[in-house]
């Protein structure tokens, strides 16, 4: 009976190409270190050309990404219904206590965002006592080039990947302070990489300043960021330096719980 049911499903209305796409996504979802085209071709028993075309399409749509060092493909957070929902929930639980401590220490809004589809996606926001009305809300996307969370990720991605993101997305000028020159943004990212945290100084919203630091996974890849945001009138330089120190400490602990070790960190800064 089961064989017959399966046969009934594979009728004239059954699209084999859709099956190939989902089989590929399911296979990638189970591969923590990713898979190269040749490996996927062997596992799926499909020609390399077919696998490449599916991967290329999924990459354009934002469902997979390719590691520029290993050439392996991975599912992105946009494919969370296959791979990342549980991971995001785990991250939220690990980060929550640290976020609450940051909120208690500085009384400013604390945000947790993940790197998803070459944008930042807010999954948790704890409102501060001195918070101002901001566009960032849970379950919304934010640009990479102007936000502190976005810049903290871009700075620690392989340079080729960071540059590709800047080239493929419109660098919108949100305020008069927003940098839209690739050269100037890359120079700013070098500073972020050196000090370990990023600053959004009214680059996304007038009157708002934000400090962010990255969170790394077990493979040394920046996958999320926590930021502290508030009114410029309150977030003076001396306070921002204190916030940055506490942020880096908190995110270092979170990264450690995700399996990250400084020794295993892979940063291609050449």
Write out the DSSP string of the chain: -HHHHHHHHSSTT--HHHHHHHHHHHHHHH-TT-B-HHHHHHHHT--HHHHHHHHHHHHHHTSEEE-TTT--EEE-GGGTTTTTHHHHHHHHHHHHHHHHHHHHHH-SEEEEEEEETTEEEEEEEE--TT----S--TT-EE-TTTSHHHHHHHTTS-HHHHHHHHHHS-----STT----HHHHHHHHHHHHHHT-EEEESSSSTTEEEEEEEEE-TTS-EEEEEEEEEETTT--HHHHHHHHHHHHHHHHHHHHHTT--GGG------
Please indicate, yes or no, whether residues 129 and 218 belong to a single structural domain of this protein: yes
Give how many domains the chain has, as a whole number: 2
The residue segments making up the domain with residue 255 are 85-264
Please indicate, yes or no, whether residues 30 and 138 belong to a single structural domain of this protein: no
Q: What is the CATH number of the domain that holds 24?
A: 1.10.10.10
**Does residue 58 contact residue 75 with C-beta atoms inside 8 Å?**
no
Please indicate, yes or no, whether residues 17 and 97 belong to a single structural domain of this protein: no
Q: From 60, 79, 98, give the residue that closes a domain.
A: 79
166, part of any domain: yes
**Does residue 226 contact residue 98 with C-beta atoms inside 8 Å?**
yes
Q: What is the pLDDT of residue 133?
A: 61
Q: What is the pLDDT of residue 10?
A: 55
> Rounded CA gap, 89 and 234, in Å?
32
94, part of any domain: yes
270, part of any domain: no
113, part of any domain: yes
Rounded mean pLDDT for each run of 10 residues along the chain, 270 residues in total? 45 82 86 88 92 94 86 79 66 93 95 89 87 70 94 95 90 95 96 97 94 93 95 93 97 92 50
Q: From 16, 47, 79, give the residue that closes a domain.
A: 79
Please indicate, yes or no, whether residues 70 and 105 belong to a single structural domain of this protein: no
269, part of any domain: no
Please indicate, yes or no, whether residues 47 and 176 belong to a single structural domain of this protein: no
Of 109, 91, 99, 92, the residue nearest 210 (C-alpha): 109
Please indicate, yes or no, whether residues 66 and 99 belong to a single structural domain of this protein: no
Please indicate, yes or no, whether residues 253 and 150 belong to a single structural domain of this protein: yes
233, part of any domain: yes
Whole-model pTM: value is 0.69
Please indicate, yes or no, whether residues 132 and 191 belong to a single structural domain of this protein: yes
Q: What is the CATH number of the domain that holds 112?
A: 3.30.450.40
Please indicate, yes or no, whether residues 62 and 146 belong to a single structural domain of this protein: no
Q: What is the pLDDT of residue 6?
A: 45
Please indicate, yes or no, whether residues 158 and 252 belong to a single structural domain of this protein: yes
Please indicate, yes or no, whether residues 237 and 166 belong to a single structural domain of this protein: yes
Q: From 58, 79, 100, give the residue that closes a domain.
A: 79
Please indicate, yes or no, whether residues 174 and 219 belong to a single structural domain of this protein: yes
60, part of any domain: yes
């Amino acid at each position: 009976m089961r064989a017959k049911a399966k046969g009934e499903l594979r009728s004239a209305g059954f699209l084999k190409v859709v099956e190939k796409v989902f089989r590929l996504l399911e296979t990638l979802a189970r591969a923590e270190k990713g898979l190269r085209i040749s490996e996927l071709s062997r596992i799926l028993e499909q020609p390399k050309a077919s696998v490449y075309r599916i991967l290329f399409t999924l990459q354009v749509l934002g469902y997979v990404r390719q590691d520029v060092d290993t050439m392996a493909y991975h599912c992105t957070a946009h494919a969370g219904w296959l791979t990342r929902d549980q991971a995001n929930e785990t991250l939220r639980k690990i980060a929550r206590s640290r976020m609450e401590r940051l909120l208690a220490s500085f009384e400013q809004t604390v945000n947790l965002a993940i790197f998803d589809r070459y944008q930042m996606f807010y999954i948790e926001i704890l409102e501060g006592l001195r918070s101002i009305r901001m566009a960032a809300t849970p379950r919304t996307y934010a640009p990479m080039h102007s936000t502190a969370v976005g810049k903290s990720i871009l700075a620690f991605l392989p340079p080729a990947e960071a540059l590709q993101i800047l080239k493929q997305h419109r660098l919108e000028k949100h305020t008069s302070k927003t940098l839209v020159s690739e050269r100037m943004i890359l120079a700013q990212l070098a500073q972020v990489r050196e000090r370990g945290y990023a600053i959004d100084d009214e680059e996304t919203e007038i009157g708002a300043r934000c400090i962010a630091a990255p969170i790394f996974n077990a493979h040394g890849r920046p996958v999320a960021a926590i930021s502290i945001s508030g009114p410029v009138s309150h977030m003076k330089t001396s306070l921002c330096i204190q916030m940055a120190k506490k942020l880096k400490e908190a995110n270092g602990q979170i990264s450690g719980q995700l399996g990250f070790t400084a020794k295993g960190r892979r940063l291609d800064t050449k």
